[in-house]
Structure 1
Amino acid sequence: MKLRAKLGALLFGGCLPFSAMSGEGVFGWLYTLDLQPKGAIELEQKIDYTTGHATGSYNLWKSKTGIEYGLTNDIQVTGYLDAYSVNAKQNYHQCDDISPCTAGFGVPGSANGLNSYSKTAVNGGSAEVIWRITNPVTSPVGVGLYFEPSIGSLSESFEMRLLLQSNFLDDRLILAANFIAETEKFKFDPAETIYESSFDIRYGASYRFAPNWSAGVEGRFHNDFEGSWYGKQIQRANFIGPNLHYGGKDWWFTAAWLYQLGGQCWAPGDAECSNGRVWDSHGNNQFMFKVGMPLQ
């Protein structure tokens, strides 16, 4: 009887979903609707690394240090301090007479022709608001809205997202998609202020394959347009790669990688493509490292 009771308990326990902390970021760049509950506070650190260009070398590190707060059970707010470090060699911003043109983010036109360029600084700050309209735990499809204004010395932007998420297999499997509209103002070149807008689709799947561990894949379909209000399209690119997530009782960690499959450019930004890839603010590889820790 005792043996049967133990076996029954094990079988029943195996049917239960693995536990997870609220607000865990199981994806690298893709947002889900797993939010902080009302009154909960979490410290989050993101490190975003882009590398690999058509010519020379280019390494861009972006850091976002933030505090997440559950304003209600369905509204989460986050404030970030944004910093960056860029190191480039023979990497150009002014591309009129240069082929291939690489146009690395953060590299000013004054660095054109120089052997190398390097700078590390605080860029500014940003804020996120996520409103969960329906919960994927209790509804077939979770729906939410996301807003993020950012201001800094290098750039200013306003980003909006429609968040979709569905959970399967007792919440072990997460399917998610973000539809993203963003306007940007780039200021890293004192001689030229650049206005762009973009529409992206980010998508992915994550599966909890063991207690506290998840793995999956995520992708990005990127579209860039001239001007702040979606003028002529100047870029299109596709990225895809794996992610790995650990969620413990007191902290969680996510690592993700995106590889550029290829892209296309059109005038007046056609010089920013070569070898079938897009180089304007992008690279061959992009990595994300995220850590979260509840503060109460």
Structure 2
Amino acid sequence: MGSSLQRLTAGFLPCVGTAILLTTAAANAEENLWIYAKGTDTRPAGSFELKLSDTIRIGKKSGDYTFHDIRPEIEYGLTNRLTIGAEIMIFDHDYEVDSPDLEPMFETQGGAGSRFNKTQYGGYELTLKYNILSPYKDWIGLSLGLSYENRDHYRLDGADIDQDSFVGTLFLQKDFMDDTLITVLNIKTEFERRKSPGVLEEEIALDIAAGISYRVAPKWFIGLEYRHQSDYLNPQEDGVFDPELKRSSFDLSDIRIGSQHQRGNYIGPTIHYAERKWWVTAGALWQFSGGGRADGESNHSGRNWDEHEEVHVGFSIGYEM
């Protein structure tokens, strides 16, 4: 009887251990199944995670345009519910647009026949993420995020700017089929103050990301992601506002949402692979609708090209410590 119990235990415990490791790997990685959307997971207390992502934004339907948004990041679990993080932004722009309607790229490149090709330090971001409800224990997962960004260069054209942003994010997650099917919704609101020569922009931006992902095999997830991005402002140029537009303000004594400046909507597939200590994610999202300014090339065929691109291709890798 004793030897039988020992053999049973010897065979059972490795299976349990393997199951725990696979479950832990999947659970820790569920935050990172998509390009933009994130799950509600936070880091275990005392643990680190290193990440490297590259989101490549390609095409403006005029000339050629490629922008690599490269971000090395580190996260640390202060408690099981509270994660802090820091990341650096590296911007690599390479473009030559033909249409003068595609501002600010056309002006920054130097006009027709000129090209902008430069890799620059873009800025940094500091983040907090606090988990309130767990998708594995409660009827839904809920986390809140808060971050501060400082940018030295503009994401669209690489020009010099001075930008400060405060960002609040609501993370929701609902799992089905014993965590085999995972769905998330992120609602992010950004309050940005951006300065460039002669221009002051106080902007409120809305960024909504939603994802669904299915575990097709151990360690493998296939998914679909949607993203909406829009902003609301009335740029102040040389101290003058456009009288036909409403301006945004987020001063405590004057909070208002201005005119919608632009919008873009994207959708596309994602794939994710996770080991116990590391994971990789890739995906591609195409712009299927957009709008904003009414001038020619920047708002063509129901899509937006001055503030948005044809496709976003994303790659990210993470290592847990």
TM-score class normalised by the smaller sequence: 0.7 to 0.9
Structure 1 position 81 matched with structure 2 position 76: no
- What is the letter of the counterpart of residue 270 of structure 2? N
Q: TM-score, normalised by structure 1?
A: 0.84
Letter in 2 for 1:257: A
Matched letter for residue 269 of structure 2: P
Shift of 1:179: 1.1
Give the CA deviation at 1:114.
Answer: 4.7
Of 38, 42, 53, the residue aligned with 2:45 is 38
Deviating more after overlay: 36-45 vs 175-184: 175-184
Q: Deviations over 1:22-61 (max 9, x none)?
A: 5421111001112210111011111110001121111000
C-alpha contact 2:60 2:306 (8 A) present in aligned 1: no
Contact 1:172 1:207 in 2 (8 A): yes
Aligned mate of 1:19, from 23, 32, 50: 23
Quote the Cα distance in structure 2 between the aligned partners of 1:41 and 1:136: 22
Q: Classify 1:91/1:253 alpha carbon distance in 2 versus 1 (closer, same or farther; 3 Å).
A: farther
Q: What's the counterpart of residue 308 of structure 2?
A: 282
Scaled by the length of structure 2, the TM-score of the pair is 0.78
Q: Does 1:260 align with 2:287?
A: yes
What SS is found at the alignment partner of 2:306?
A: coil
Moved more, 150-159 or 39-48: 150-159
Higher RCO structure, 1 or 2 (CA under 8 Å, sep 6+): 1
Partner deviation per Cα, 1:204-228 (whole Å, 9 max, x = no partner): 1011111110011010123221144
- Aligned position for 1:207: 214
Q: Percent identity?
A: 28
Is residue 169 of structure 1 aligned with residue 177 of structure 2? yes
- Give the AA of the match of 1:134: L
Q: Distance in 2 between matches of 1:149 and 1:221?
A: 21
Cα separation, 2, equivalents of 1:241 and 1:171: 22
Shift of 1:274: 1.8
22-31 or 34-43, larger mean C-alpha shift: 22-31
- Equivalent residues of 1:45, 1:64 under 8 A apart: yes
Match of 2:151 in 1: 152
Using a 3 Å threshold, how does the CA distance of structure 1 residues 273 and 20 change in structure 2: closer, same or farther? Answer: farther
- 1:95 corresponds in structure 2 to none
**Once superposed, what is the RMSD of the aligned Cα atoms?**
2.6
**Are positions 1:49 and 2:51 aligned together?**
no
SS of residue matched to 1:153: strand
Q: Distance in 1 between matches of 2:115 and 2:96?
A: 4
Tell me how far apart the structure 1 counterparts of residues 202 and 227 of structure 2 sit (CA, whole Å): 22
8 Å CA contact 2:171–2:186 kept in 1: the answer is yes
Say if 1:64 and 1:220 are closer, same or farther in 2 by CA, change over 3 A. same
Would the alpha carbon gap of residues 291 and 104 (structure 1) be closer, same or farther in structure 2, given more than 3 Å must change?
farther
Partners of 2:191 and 2:205 within 8 A in 1: yes
Higher gyration radius (CA): 2
Counterparts of 1:78 and 1:114, CA distance in 2: 42
C-alpha contact (below 8 Å) 2:135/2:173 kept by paired residues = yes
Aligned to 1:179: 187
Shift of 1:110: 6.2
Count of aligned residue pairs for this structure pair = 275
Task: Tell me the amino acid that sits aligned with residue 212 of structure 1.
Answer: K
CA distance in 2, matches of 1:225, 1:143: 27
Change (3 A) 1:266 1:84: closer
